[in-house]
């Protein structure tokens, strides 16, 4: 495993955004499938569903159901095809690493729980690259020695 993504990377893959071309190019150049955990899949799916709900209540927010449904369907297709695969994760070690990251960085830099968990997951899986378009999360990953190539 070379790289681990966060939700912002998946968002750029499955919804047209400013950084979608960069995400798509990285994904296309990968020598194997994009490896994700069940936690990342949960957060991504939940975020999409929440954006659909936001849009339903205020059309100036979130995105329409059809767009969200397509995002989820495209992810499912990539999981079925094997372009994206779910891998096991050592959750106890990840939670310990996340606690250490929280203690070291949250007060000074304001990191959110899921962001810390994604960086801790990447570290515990032994990857060298962390795929994110979130500036604050990038700082955390780089502080821990991970390379953020996108």
Q: How confident is the model over 123-139, as pLDDT tens digits?
A: 999 999 999 999 999 99
Is 149 part of a structural domain of the chain? no
pTM of the full structure = 0.94
The pLDDT of 10-31, averaged and rounded, is: 96
pLDDT band with cut points at 50, 70 and 90 for residue 12: very high
Per the CB < 8 A criterion, the answer to whether 131 and 26 are in contact is: yes
Residues 72 and 98 in one domain: no
CA distance 140 to 145: 9
Rounded Cα distance between 98 and 103, Å, is 9
pLDDT of 1 higher than 80: no
Domain count, the chain: 2
CA distances for 140 relative to 21, 25, 103, 131, 135, angstroms:
24, 24, 12, 12, 9
75: confidence class by pLDDT, cuts 50, 70, 90: very high
Mean pLDDT, range 90-104, rounded to an integer: 97
Answer yes or no: do 45 and 102 share one domain.
Answer: no
Residues 70 and 49 in one domain: yes
| Residue 2 burial (CB count, 10 A) | 12
Q: Are residues 7 and 21 in the same domain?
A: yes
Residues β-bridged to residue 34: 84
Same domain, 79 and 95: no
Percent of the chain, pLDDT > 90?
98
């Amino acid at each position: 495993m070379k790289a681990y993504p966060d939700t912002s990377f998946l968002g750029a893959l499955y919804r047209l955004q400013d950084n979608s071309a960069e995400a798509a190019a990285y994904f296309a150049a990968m020598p194997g499938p994009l490896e994700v955990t069940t936690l990342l899949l949960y957060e991504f799916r939940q975020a999409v569903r929440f954006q659909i709900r936001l849009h339903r209540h205020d059309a100036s927010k979130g995105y329409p159901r059809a767009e969200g449904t397509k995002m989820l369907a495209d992810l499912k297709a990539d999981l079925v095809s094997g372009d994206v695969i779910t891998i096991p994760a050592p959750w106890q070690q990840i939670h310990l690493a996340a606690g250490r990251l929280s203690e070291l960085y949250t007060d000074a830099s304001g990191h959110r729980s899921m962001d810390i968990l994604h960086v801790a997951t990447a570290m515990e899986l032994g990857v060298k690259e962390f795929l994110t378009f979130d500036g604050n999360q990038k700082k955390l990953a780089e502080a821990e020695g991970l390379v953020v190539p996108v």
